[in-house]
Each structure stands twice: as C-alpha cells, then as structure tokens.
Structure 1
C-alpha cells in the first residue's frame, strides 16, 4: 500500500522538462473583453499551442513589441478556460452534473471551441470535443442522462461555419442518444436551427449510423500540417 501511494504521489509531482520549459519564457499580457480583463500568460505556451498567438508575437508585429494582445470581443470566462488548459492540460467543469450545470458547461464548451477556432489551436478544440462527450456520457446522480443542451446547439449553429466538426458532433449526439423525435426537444419547429435539421435528416436516413458510436476522434480538427500529411 505504501508503495502504491508513493507512486501516485510521484506521478502528481513529476513533469517532463519539455512540458515545463514554457513557464520560463517571458509573459504576454492578454486584454480581454470590453472591461479589459487582464491575463498574463507565458509566451512559449501561447506560441507553441496557437498559430494566432505565434504569428502575433513574431518579429515585426506591434503586439510582439508591446507584449500585449487585445481580444475585445471575447469573454474573459472563456479565455480563462483556455489559459487554464494551457497550464494544466484540463478543462474545468462543474463538480456535479445537473440539468442546470449541463446547460452552463455545454455553452461554455461551445464558446471555447469557437474562441480557439479563431486562435487556431486545434489541440484545444479537440480537447473541448472530449470534454463535451465526457459531460454527455456522465449522468446525473440518479442516473439520468442529459444530452447536449438546446442552447449550446443553437449557439453553435449560429456562430460556426457549415461543416464545422462541432456541428456534426451535436447532430450525431441527438440522433444517437435520442429515442424521441429529435425535433421534440425544441418548443416549436421554427426554433430549430435549419442546418441542424438538414444534417439530422441526412444522418438518420443512413442505416450504417444505427451501429455507429460517438468517438471524439471522429470530430477532431486538423491543423494544416496534419491535413498535408493526409
């Protein structure tokens, strides 16, 4: 037992040199939202993960000289999720799954995915996909499963482009996890995003889908290098 405990402790405190090197770089000031909330993040962590930050901090750019980047239209709470992930490799979620917490987490996840679509960080986008599926696959205390919230679906279809992998995930989640009529989750048919309906019809008419499974890797976003390797 003592050996087992010591091994778990060692696993928690040890970190590879490659993972730790980012925290020895200078910090960059990120100013977020209309109120100008400030985050100080190590440059190497930002540049290694995000193509947007890598370019912004490149030679010749004003942001590189000022060591300050402004994201005026983004939400500080969503940027905070991203910064937390950069340092800890995990996405914070509500401690207990309830209908209320599921709605909040789902919407935060969608907004985070959209944020880093702009920041061009496919690793974080794919981590968000895992977080969404983990949330969907975790029932409430009494065992009740909760699908992706309507609000999150609506937000995704209002703020992403056609073909976005998060759209496909939400459509598949409703088609796969729902025994009811998919349209019954909205108050009226007019409330359902049109593109969601179109995609759902295409999915449901394909018999192979009946044996499909929701796997995070099916909804990964690839960066340009990965696409080139094909």
Structure 2
C-alpha cells in the first residue's frame, strides 16, 4: 500500500502558526503553556469543538482564547499543520531509502510516524474533527505498509496503543485499527507485551484473535491417548 502524498512533509517545511492574527489556542498547563494562533474559519470549518467554543455563548468567543490544558504542544502543532497544509510534519522516505535503514533505525522511523499520526487522531477525536480523523486512519494504514530492509512491516508500539485506548471511546476507529494491526502479530510477541497493555485493548485483541483463528482440529484425536501416558520402565 503506497503512502498518501497528502499526509507527510519534511520537517524543514513545518509551518509556524504563532503570528497569524485570529484565535489563540493555549495548550498545556501553566507554567508550561504554549500559544498557537490560527484563523478561526480554518478551525470552525472542520471542528465541532471549535464551532461551539466560538458560537457566542462561551467566554472563549469573547476572549478569543481557547484553552487545551490536557493536550501537548507537539500534538497540536502537528494537528494545526495538517489543518492548514494537508500534511504532517514528518520525515518522508522513499522505498529505497527505507530499505537502506538498519532494523533499529527503521523501527524508530516507523514508531515516530505512528506516534504523530495517532497523536493527531486522538486530538481530532477530542476536537470532533472527522475529516482529520479519517485522514489519520489513511496515514496509519500507509505506515503499516512500509517495508524495511528485511522485508518486514511494523505495527504501532504498545505505548501508542495504550495512548489510543486511554483517550478514545469504545468503538473508536483507531481502537479497531490498532486491534487489527496487533491481530497480525505473533502470539509470542503479544504475550511478551501482555502485562503492559491496556485492559480494554487486551479484551478487544482477545476477541479479534479468536475470530481470526482457523477452525481448530481435534488435537486429542490426532495425538491419541499415548501422548498423555508415561512409558512403563522395563525390569
């Protein structure tokens, strides 16, 4: 599956939105807040959250400052970059460049992509921005199709999975996607991560693995009773 060209851009092209006059979005909690300034129309055109905040019935409509104390500046910077440009501030690599990366560097690159993509999805869930949520699902699927030097692909880490489950409602498309991604992983790997996984994810993954299983053969019949009996010692 090819990478959608509308979801990635070199980090050097990352736009700054801190000097455009309109609405101020204050991200984080004091004293570590960061302000972003964006056109109101860009935000309200796609986000129900921003539409309600600026509809005249809330103090934000008067102060023109919208607080997002529970979110990170990194996630919002990526979100606003996508809103304005249709691109994420990630480092793009060609197929040949990816195959030149060591396994560790490939893993780091893909993990970074997943962290950004699902971070933007989680924020878009809160902001009720369906357009961006759908775009992030497309970007995540494209990332799942990236191939490393050994011909392998890579799914999201359990840190990313846990972040998704901690910040999205039951039935979220992102939950369904990370569950399907992990369903394709080896059982051995899944068990090695089991104690670190969000309980809701464990339950969803268990159901998905059960549904994906081939009809089990009758192992007892195939092995026979001898497989469960001890051999008699002679003498």
Q: Same fold (TM over 0.5)?
A: yes
**1:146-225 pair list within 5 angstroms:** 146-175=154-183, 177-178=184-185, 180-181=186-187, 184-185=189-190, 187-206=192-211
Q: For the residues of structure 1 that align with 2:150 and 2:39, how far apart are their CA atoms?
A: 42
Deviations 1:29-85 (A, max 9, x none): 111113221111111111101011111111232211222111122111110111111
Aligned length: 183
Unaligned runs of 5+ in 1: 1-24, 211-230
Task: Identify the residue that residue 110 of structure 1 maps to in structure 2.
Answer: 118
143, 148, 158: which one aligns with 2:151 = 143
Question: Where in structure 1 do 4 or more consecutive aligned residues deviate above 4 Å?
Answer: 207-210
Q: For the residues of structure 1 that align with 2:49 and 2:214, how far apart are their CA atoms?
A: 36
TM-score, normalization by structure 1: 0.71
Q: For the residues of structure 2 that align with 1:39 and 1:56, how far apart are their CA atoms?
A: 16
CA contact (8 A) 2:76 2:120 kept: yes
1:147 Cα deviation after fit: 1.5
Of the two, which has the highest radius of gyration?
Answer: 2
Q: Give the structure with the higher percent helix.
A: 1
Q: What value does the CA root-mean-square deviation take over the aligned residues?
A: 2.5
Task: Identify the residue that residue 85 of structure 2 maps to in structure 1.
Answer: 88
Unaligned runs of 5+ in 2: 1-19, 99-105, 216-235
Q: For the residues of structure 1 that align with 2:194 and 2:158, how far apart are their CA atoms?
A: 13
1:146 Cα deviation after fit: 1.1
Task: Identify the residue that residue 41 of structure 2 maps to in structure 1.
Answer: 44
1:208 Cα deviation after fit: 9.6
Q: For the residues of structure 2 that align with 1:145 and 1:119, how far apart are their CA atoms?
A: 31
TM-score, normalization by structure 2: 0.69
